[in-house]
Structure 1
Amino acid sequence: MFKSIRFKFITIYFLLVFMAMVIVGAFLLQQFEQYHLGVVRGNLTQIAGSVMTTLEEIDWQNNKEEIQKNIGPYEKMGMEIYVIEKNNDFTIISSTNLSYWNQNAMYILDSNLIMSAFHGEIEEKDIVSGQENQISSKNMVFPLYDEHSRIAGAVYLRQNLEDIHKTLDQSKFILTRATLLALFTTILLGYLLAKSITGPINDVTIKAEKMAKGDFDQVVEVKSDDEIGQLANMFNYLTARLKSALQEMSNEKKKMDTIINNMADGLIAVTAEGKIIHANPVALEMLKLEGKTLANKSFDEVFYPLNQHLTLNHLTNQKKWYGSEMIDMEKGIKLRAKYAPIIREDGDLEGLVVLLQDVTEHEKLENMRKEFVANVSHELKTPLTTIKSYTETLLDGAMESKELTTQFLTVVESETDRMTRLVQDLLQLSNLDFKQGRWNKKEVCINDIVKDAVLKIEVSAKNKRQQLVCKTSEEDTITYADKDKIEQVILNVLSNAIKYTSKEGRIEIAVQTVNNIGKIIIKDNGIGIPSKDLPRIFERFYRVDKARSREMGGTGLGLSIAKQIVEAHDGKIEIFSEEKEPGTSVVITLPTLEKASVLN
């Protein structure tokens, strides 16, 4: 209560009015008292002058009875007059109070005043009697001269001041009542005035407190055009502007949250003390952590087991706030952690932002690129080396032997064909990668494609005394495809089956239609493929048995090309092989045309 501006306002207003009333009242009472005392003094002086003139005219020293006749009428005016003769006893020779006749004035009246008069001075004094009633009176004394202008006596006048003091007391009572009434009015008006000022301020304070708690739908009622009204208007304007600014900030925050939470990379923000303040879902998934677990751990506790260089302690010691580190996770997953500092305006470190990128595929592709370059180099180096060595041998004199020359030239031709096949396969893969290949797609029958492929490859199977069994579907399976390309895929798979199946082996090829999907299934009882090699079987230049594959003339690109062709037809090619059991199954699926007419 005492801290309220309303109480302070009323208190100050009360004190101001109180002090003003006290000062004004004291001044008025003083002036009032001085005025009435001055009136009494003037009356006493006038009466004294009249009495003294009369006494001088009647020879007062010898006509005491005449003195009493002249001062007697003044008794009715409530005034006491004493005529004192200058002798040894200071005798009162005449008085309006008959009981004091012929008595010593020193015992009745103020002796100091009497002595002053006998010294020729006119004096006055306000005296309060020592009695119980404490009567206050105005006392004045005047010297009285004889016919020789010598001080022969004194005229002592005394008038009761009780009426004046009663009047002053009444005036004080009236002023006190007026002061109390003014103070009460002051308190009432001060309260109303303070309320008119503090009311809107309290309203603004309450609305501001609600705004501080997040409720920005606050409007202050404007009741006037004065400063308080202007304050209310400015508060409402501030509220509208603040609400608009916060709405914009909220929208921006939602955008940022949406971007951060849906970005492909992980993001972690940490304070300078190591407290993790934000981690998007991708970061949690990458680090195999949960939000509750992360909230109870510091940054160093999370990253120290992953990479000791990626801790605040290490970065602080190294004073290195920009850079990146690699993190090796389980199952061969590799993460690149890029970090950058958050700097405050004063230049101090606020925190750290870490961006996590899954570079597993990138690293894998990089390794594949390196391996691809190495394989291409090796594939070209081997035939080139052979051609160069045989050519040098011929140039050194082997050409003189026709039989040896023919043999060497046959080898050169074979190696040249091998390089030609390799370049052609690389060109075809390049066209497929950049979608520059030309497709001659039309409605074709899968049965016909398979039959044509078997017809072209069966000579190779017979040369190895292998049994090639073809089972087509009872109804023609129609698809929209490039016949030559699909045939190339089937020939590639059949060629691999013949190569890696021993003599007198068995190769089966079947065509099936299931739910508008055409399936071409090629199964052999050859050497099979180890399970560890199956995930990489479609990689370029990847061979299960590299030495044997090269001896058989393969480039290691056939299955990669086959996969590209099948996927370009919205199909799929899969290879199945069980470890320690002979045989491999290849399943090629292609979409069929519904209600297609049977080709003639």
Structure 2
Amino acid sequence: MFSSIKWKFILVYFLLVFIAMVIVAVFIIQRTETKQLEHITDTMNQHVETIISASSYITEDDWTSVRGEIQKTINEWRLDGRETLYVINNADVPTIIASTSKNYDTANVQNALSYKSLDPTLILKALDGKKNEGLKTDFNENIKTKHIAYPVFNEVGKVKGILYMTSDLSDVYQTIDEFKTILTNATLLALGITIFLGFLIANSITGPIKDVTVKAEKMAKGDFEQFVQVKSDDEIGQLANMFNYLTLKLKSTIEEMDVERSKLNTILKYMTDGVVAIDTDGNIIHVNPIASKVLGLNYDDIQDSKKTIPFPEDKISIKMFEKGKTDKIEGDKIIEIHDEVYKMGYAPFKNEKNNIAGLIIVFQDITKEHKLDNMRKEFVANVSHELKTPITTIKSYTETLMNGYDLDRELSNKFFSVIDNECDRMARIVSDLLQLSNLDYNKTKWKKVNLSVKKVIDDVCLKLEPLIEDKGHTLSIDIEKDISDIVADKDGIEQVILNVLSNSIKYTPNNGEIRIKARQENDKVIISVKDNGIGIPDEDQKRIFERFYRVDKARSRELGGTGLGLSIAKQIIEEHKGNIILKSKYKEGTEVDIILPLNKDV
């Protein structure tokens, strides 16, 4: 609240009046209290002096002998109702011989120093011949009293006794409390009026400023139809006039700039390449949607924002400006951002003084070309590697047989068996490659017919039954009742399920569990194959459908895999407008969902 100048103004005004009223109140109360005490003191002194001069018994040297007369005299004396007089005799022990106090016992002489209503300090000082006065507070009854100890001397100048007078100050402090109440109420009233007037005055000052602020904010958002009413000729009126003048000039200038900017923005916005301009401090001046996406920036925020946005050099490290090395600013390089590959070209632009004012960077997306090139290289390397191993094995065993070593029939048959297995392996690789080639070039002819999901699954399980029994796996099949038939190529779908199920059998340790489920959801049929095998690490799952990609290359070759099965399965399912989803947890198991759409009967 106090961040507003209006409330600051009211607060200052409030504090000034409050401090002034407090000072005045303190001064008045202190002066009133002082004057009242001085008046009471003077009155008490006059009464004591009058009694001393007017009473003949007081002039006697022996007050004890005239004690009754002194008591009678002071009883007849007209004292203020608040005052009490004590006559104290100077003896070995100062004693009260007479008093106007109601609590005083005239039949007994009382020790003045131990009398609770008196101040022994003042008595002792008075006995030394010094007139004393002071204030005493009774905290139990919350009563203040004024005390005067007035020594009375004999003819030789010796103190023969003391006239000790007290005066109750309750009326004085009651009057002062009333003063405090009046001043407090007056202060509260003054502060209330101060806040009200301060609010009105502050509004008259901050109102126009607030109006200018609100309209300036609208101008900042692009609304330049803002004008402030001029209501005075003072500084605030001058501010309003200048604001209106600024609005007109700014509107005219921006309209001219908008035309040019519109041309440039249209060109940059619809470019297929990313373009970003940065100044010599490394801050972004302009960026088109493609470049903002490349750099991970929000294009709309950059367009609307007025703050400085630095170029994200954490993503692209460029030593853009080095003094004396302007020849190194221009160039191009290949960079990679978030798995995307770009060819980045950059060159400087200059200002009206022909000095370098910044840098233009252009991003050309070459991700597809780069990936295709890498895939081509990797594919050639993988094919070469996959064929090299069986060829080497065949060559080495064949050379051994051709050299005519004296081999027994059992060993020779073993060599021939290895050669035969390696030939089968090469045949499988070539067959899979031919199938992938046909899928890539759409040369595969599909014979789509109505297929029973249950029959397809049963046929695949029957083919793999020996392998399942050999590893001791438990196979459970759960097919939803009344599941609809699918329209698909029988051989293709069987191959997909065969590839997925055989992987589960191979990569599940002996005596494992494999579950096959089939269910219908809306217009789709989902066939799930789940095992409790070795699973697939998270980092390998995103590449599991790539050609020749294996999680464990040695184990895959040992089990007879080519690394092409899942890639072929994925392409077959995609040709049927379906999808294949793999979910796996390392060392816990894998689940593969084969999703096929329901089509009309053929």
The TM-score normalised by the length of structure 2 is: 0.51
Most deviating of 420-429 and 397-406: 397-406
> Which residue is 1:280 aligned to?
288
1:269 and 2:277 equivalent?
yes
**Distance in 2 of aligned mates of 1:541 and 1:283:** 35
* Shift, 1:399, TM fit: 6.8
**Distance in 1 of aligned mates of 2:538 and 2:282:** 45
**Distance in 2 of aligned mates of 1:383 and 1:579:** 31
1:304 and 1:311 in contact (8 A); partners too:
no
> Which residue is 1:589 aligned to?
595
* Shift, 1:433, TM fit: 2.0
- Say which SS state the counterpart of residue 398 (structure 1) adopts: coil
> Which residue is 2:327 aligned to?
319
1:521 and 1:585 in contact (8 A); partners too:
yes
* Shift, 1:497, TM fit: 1.0
> Which residue is 1:431 aligned to?
438
> Which residue is 1:546 aligned to?
553
* Shift, 1:210, TM fit: 13
User: For residues 390 and 579 of structure 1, do their structure 2 counterparts lie closer, same or farther at Cα, with a shift above 3 Å needed?
Assistant: closer
Most deviating of 287-296 and 409-418: 287-296
> Which residue is 1:154 aligned to?
none
User: For residues 443 and 350 of structure 1, do their structure 2 counterparts lie closer, same or farther at Cα, with a shift above 3 Å needed?
Assistant: farther
1:512 and 2:519 equivalent?
yes
More helix by share: 1
* Shift, 1:440, TM fit: 1.5
> Which residue is 1:381 aligned to?
388
Note the aligned Cα RMSD (angstroms).
Answer: 3.6
> Which residue is 2:243 aligned to?
none
- Say which SS state the counterpart of residue 495 (structure 2) adopts: helix
1:393 and 2:400 equivalent?
yes
Q: Which has the larger radius of gyration?
A: 1
**Distance in 2 of aligned mates of 1:304 and 1:592:** 51
User: For residues 343 and 568 of structure 1, do their structure 2 counterparts lie closer, same or farther at Cα, with a shift above 3 Å needed?
Assistant: farther
- Say which SS state the counterpart of residue 319 (structure 1) adopts: helix
* Shift, 1:411, TM fit: 0.9
In structure 2, which of residues 263, 270, 276 is the aligned counterpart of residue 259 of structure 1? 270
Q: Which amino acid aligns with 1:319?
A: D
* Shift, 1:552, TM fit: 0.6
**Distance in 2 of aligned mates of 1:586 and 1:305:** 39
Q: Which amino acid aligns with 2:506?
A: K
The TM-score normalised by the length of structure 1 is: 0.52
Q: 1:235-246 to 2 correspondence within 5 Å?
A: none
In structure 2, which of residues 482, 489, 492 is the aligned counterpart of residue 482 of structure 1? 489
2:284 and 2:311 in contact (8 A); partners too:
no
* Shift, 1:266, TM fit: 2.3
1:447 and 1:473 in contact (8 A); partners too:
no
* Shift, 1:275, TM fit: 6.2
**Distance in 2 of aligned mates of 1:365 and 1:295:** 42
**Distance in 2 of aligned mates of 1:344 and 1:434:** 54
> Which residue is 1:40 aligned to?
none
* Shift, 1:481, TM fit: 1.4
User: For residues 523 and 569 of structure 1, do their structure 2 counterparts lie closer, same or farther at Cα, with a shift above 3 Å needed?
Assistant: same
1:459 and 2:470 equivalent?
no
Unmatched runs of 5 consecutive residues or more in structure 1: 1-208, 217-245
**Distance in 2 of aligned mates of 1:210 and 1:573:** 60
Q: 1:206-225 to 2 correspondence within 5 Å?
A: none
Q: How many residues align?
A: 350
Q: 1:157-236 to 2 correspondence within 5 Å?
A: none
1:507 and 1:524 in contact (8 A); partners too:
yes
* Shift, 1:358, TM fit: 5.2
User: For residues 215 and 371 of structure 1, do their structure 2 counterparts lie closer, same or farther at Cα, with a shift above 3 Å needed?
Assistant: closer
- Say which SS state the counterpart of residue 285 (structure 2) adopts: strand
- Say which SS state the counterpart of residue 577 (structure 1) adopts: strand
2:544 and 2:550 in contact (8 A); partners too:
yes
Q: Which amino acid aligns with 1:288?
A: G
Q: Which amino acid aligns with 1:277?
A: I
2:279 and 2:358 in contact (8 A); partners too:
yes
In structure 2, which of residues 410, 420, 423 is the aligned counterpart of residue 413 of structure 1? 420
Q: Which amino acid aligns with 2:592?
A: V
Most deviating of 416-425 and 392-401: 392-401
User: For residues 323 and 437 of structure 1, do their structure 2 counterparts lie closer, same or farther at Cα, with a shift above 3 Å needed?
Assistant: farther
* Shift, 1:385, TM fit: 0.7
1:336 and 1:357 in contact (8 A); partners too:
yes
- Say which SS state the counterpart of residue 561 (structure 2) adopts: coil
Q: Which amino acid aligns with 1:285?
A: K
> Which residue is 2:229 aligned to?
none
> Which residue is 1:337 aligned to?
344
> Which residue is 2:126 aligned to?
none
1:538 and 1:560 in contact (8 A); partners too:
yes
1:298-354 deviation digits (Å, cap 9, x = unpaired): 8xx52554444451338x71614543234455x656554222455899998676431
In structure 2, which of residues 296, 303, 311 is the aligned counterpart of residue 302 of structure 1? 311
1:471-528 deviation digits (Å, cap 9, x = unpaired): 3231142222111101100000111111112222222212111112101111122222
- Say which SS state the counterpart of residue 277 (structure 1) adopts: strand
**Distance in 2 of aligned mates of 1:580 and 1:502:** 11
2:475 and 2:514 in contact (8 A); partners too:
yes
